Structure 1
Amino acid sequence: MKSDLDYIFMKLRSMKAKLVATYPDAFPDGSSTKMLDQRPDLEIPL
């Protein structure tokens, strides 16, 4: 299931990159910067 989600998010990032390349004004300035994934790693035991 994790690999499926990774694939989906990879496809979404590539679609967004294509949109930004084609339509530079499609997203606000702050959304095109690289964002760090701040979600906790759920695979690490507590």
Structure 2
Amino acid sequence: SISIMNNGFRSFTDHCLAGIEANEKRLKQYVEKSVGVITAVNPHLG
């Protein structure tokens, strides 16, 4: 039911997600690498 899902999401947020912060330096590296890969394969994919 909706209330069970709500309680599950609330518990997950409180016990698993609380306090997590993004590693901006690492995320920037991921973006830079993915742009390079897309640029390299774009001519082959069209």
TM interval, shorter chain, is: 0.3 to 0.5
- TM-score, with normalisation over the residues of structure 2? 0.44
Report the structure, 1 or 2, having the larger helix content.
2
Query: Based on CA coordinates, which of the two structures has the bigger radius of gyration?
Result: 2
Higher relative contact order (CA 8 A, sep 6+): 1
- TM-score, with normalisation over the residues of structure 1? 0.44
